[in-house]
């Protein structure tokens, strides 16, 4: 990933610059393929994308399906299809779903190709670009579509030299440089989810609060996985919550983390529970899918 853009603080100036560059690239393409993280399909999108793309035909690429809850991934795919997007599901780590891209793009652009044919331009190539927030898998996806092994696709905004195109299929080209969208986390819940998945740095919150909130969320959505991994019994849960302000997800999650730390034997001198260590372990085990494959944003409505 391009260092400048992965570690950037998204000040308004950066956003404006990035948006202008993307708008310039958009003029060159017939379709926009937006990569989102299947684990957090709402928070990994930038809602401004609809305004930026206007009426261009759109595809949603639900990536990292190897890390997401398959049932929820299917529900999200259906939801995006119902909204008029072409949808594919990919696991770029294991090259799954990549071959669905070209047929889906061809279907998405069939009308445009027909119009070209009517005008006697049947051979004119159709063009698309990939967009998404940092770290969502844009570069890996482009490399795989291009059949490349190395990291040649660059997250390199603001290219003024000639554009590089990757051939996806006969008459279908993909811009080699993805459009980078900035993560939008004015909503603290969105910020939390982006930090849990590692899309933004952990330091939006102190580690124990970040992890407590994750614990509370997992306990709500996937209690069985937490019970099994940390050997928490229903009575542990009751004990953890005894006397707690159960309306506070941070307090609930922290209490559960204390129980988990006890079960794991994470103790400091004097028998004090090492909740900081537990917080790190929980985040690491969530991110590496040792706890399971979770989607923390269900389809609603
Ligand atoms: P970006 O261009 O959108 O910034 O993302 P990039 O392709 O650089 O991918 C970021 C990280 O996510 C990479 O891991 C990449 O391998 C991983 N990744 C991409 N797609 C998937 C997927 O579908 N499933 C999983 N599990 N991981 C995915 P990295 O550790 O930064 O690099 P690497 O050593 O794996 O190449």
Structural domains in the chain (count): 2
pLDDT score of 18 more than 50: yes
Instruction: Tell me if 119 is assigned to some domain.
Output: yes
Task: Report the pLDDT value the prediction gives residue 3, as an integer from 0 to 100.
Answer: 41
Q: Are residues 101 and 212 in the same domain?
A: no
DSSP 8-state symbol, 8: -
Q: Higher-confidence residue: 247 or 273?
A: 273
Task: Report the pLDDT value the prediction gives residue 285, as an integer from 0 to 100.
Answer: 97
Domain boundary among 161, 176, 191: 176
Give the list of residues 6+ apart from residue 187 with CB closer than 8 angstroms, or none. none
Q: Ligand 1: which of 137, 142, 181, 288 to mutate, judged by most atoms within 8 Å of the beta carbon?
A: 137
> Ligand 1 centroid vs 194 CA: distance in angstroms?
15
Rounded CA separation 48/179 (Å): 13
For 111-152, how does the pLDDT look when each residue is reduced to its tens digit (9 = 90+)?
Answer: 999 999 999 998 899 999 999 999 999 999 999 999 886 555
Nearest CA to ligand 1 atom 18: 137
The answer to whether 139 and 154 are in contact (CB under 8 A) is yes
pLDDT score of 290 more than 60: yes
How far, CA to CA in Å, does 288 sit from each of 12, 41, 103, 134, 285?
33, 18, 32, 19, 5
Q: Ligand 1: which of 93, 136, 183 to mutate, judged by most atoms within 8 Å of the beta carbon?
A: 93
**Ligand 1, CB within 6 Å, residue ranges:** 1, 63-64, 66-67, 90-93, 132, 134-140, 155
Indicate the pLDDT class of residue 274, thresholds 50, 70 and 90: very high
Q: Are residues 155 and 210 in the same domain?
A: no
Q: Higher-confidence residue: 23 or 2?
A: 23
> Ligand 1 centroid vs 264 CA: distance in angstroms?
31
Q: Are residues 156 and 240 in the same domain?
A: no
> Ligand 1 centroid vs 95 CA: distance in angstroms?
12
Instruction: Tell me if 185 is assigned to some domain.
Output: no
Instruction: Tell me if 7 is assigned to some domain.
Output: no
Handedness of CA 62, 14, 174, 50 (dihedral sign): positive
Instruction: Tell me if 6 is assigned to some domain.
Output: no
Rounded CA separation 185/191 (Å): 5
- pTM > 0.85: yes
The answer to whether 153 and 178 are in contact (CB under 8 A) is yes
pLDDT score of 244 more than 70: no
Q: Rounded mean pLDDT of the chain?
A: 89
Indicate the pLDDT class of residue 248, thresholds 50, 70 and 90: confident
> Ligand 1 centroid vs 243 CA: distance in angstroms?
43
Which atom of ligand 1 is nearest to 92's Cα? 23
Instruction: Tell me if 236 is assigned to some domain.
Output: yes
> What is the span of the domain harbouring residue 266?
206-287
Instruction: Tell me if 188 is assigned to some domain.
Output: no
Q: Are residues 151 and 55 in the same domain?
A: yes
> Ligand 1 centroid vs 209 CA: distance in angstroms?
26
Q: Ligand 1: which of 35, 92, 178 to mutate, judged by most atoms within 8 Å of the beta carbon?
A: 92
Supply the CATH number for residue 138's domain. Answer: 3.40.50.300
Q: Are residues 89 and 163 in the same domain?
A: yes
> Ligand 1 centroid vs 140 CA: distance in angstroms?
6
Indicate the pLDDT class of residue 184, thresholds 50, 70 and 90: confident
Instruction: Tell me if 196 is assigned to some domain.
Output: no
């Amino acid at each position: 990933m391009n260092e400048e853009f992965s570690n950037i603080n998204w000040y308004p100036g950066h956003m404006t610059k990035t948006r202008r560059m993307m708008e310039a690239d958009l003029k060159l393409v017939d379709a926009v393929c937006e990569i989102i993280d299947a684990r957090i399909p709402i928070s990994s999108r930038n809602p401004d994308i609809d305004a930026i793309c206007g009426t261009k035909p759109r595809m949603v690429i639900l990536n990292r399906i190897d890390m997401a809850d398959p049932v929820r991934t299917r529900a999200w795919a259906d939801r995006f299809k119902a909204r008029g997007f072409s949808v594919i599901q990919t696991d770029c780590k294991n090259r799954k779903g990549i071959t669905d891209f070209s047929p889906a793009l061809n279907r998405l652009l069939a009308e445009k190709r027909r119009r070209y044919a009517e005008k006697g331009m049947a051979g004119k190539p159709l063009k698309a670009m990939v967009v998404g927030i940092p770290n969502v898998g844009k570069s890996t996806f482009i490399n795989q579509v291009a059949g490349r092994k190395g990291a040649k696709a660059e997250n390199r905004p603001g290219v003024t030299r000639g554009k590089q195109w990757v051939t996806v299929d006969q008459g279908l080209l993909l811009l080699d440089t993805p459009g980078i969208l900035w993560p939008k986390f004015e909503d603290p819940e969105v910020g939390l989810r982006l930090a849990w998945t590692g899309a933004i740095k952990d330091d939006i919150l102190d580690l124990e609060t970040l992890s407590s909130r994750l614990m509370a969320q997992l306990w709500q959505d996937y209690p069985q996985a937490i019970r099994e991994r940390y050997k928490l019994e229903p009575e542990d849960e009751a004990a953890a919550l005894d006397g707690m302000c159960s309306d506070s997800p941070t307090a609930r999650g922290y209490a559960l983390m204390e129980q988990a730390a006890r079960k794991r034997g994470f103790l400091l001198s004097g028998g004090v529970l090492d909740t900081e260590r537990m917080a790190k372990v929980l985040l690491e085990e969530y991110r590496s899918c040792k706890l399971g494959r979770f989607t923390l944003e269900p389809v609603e409505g």
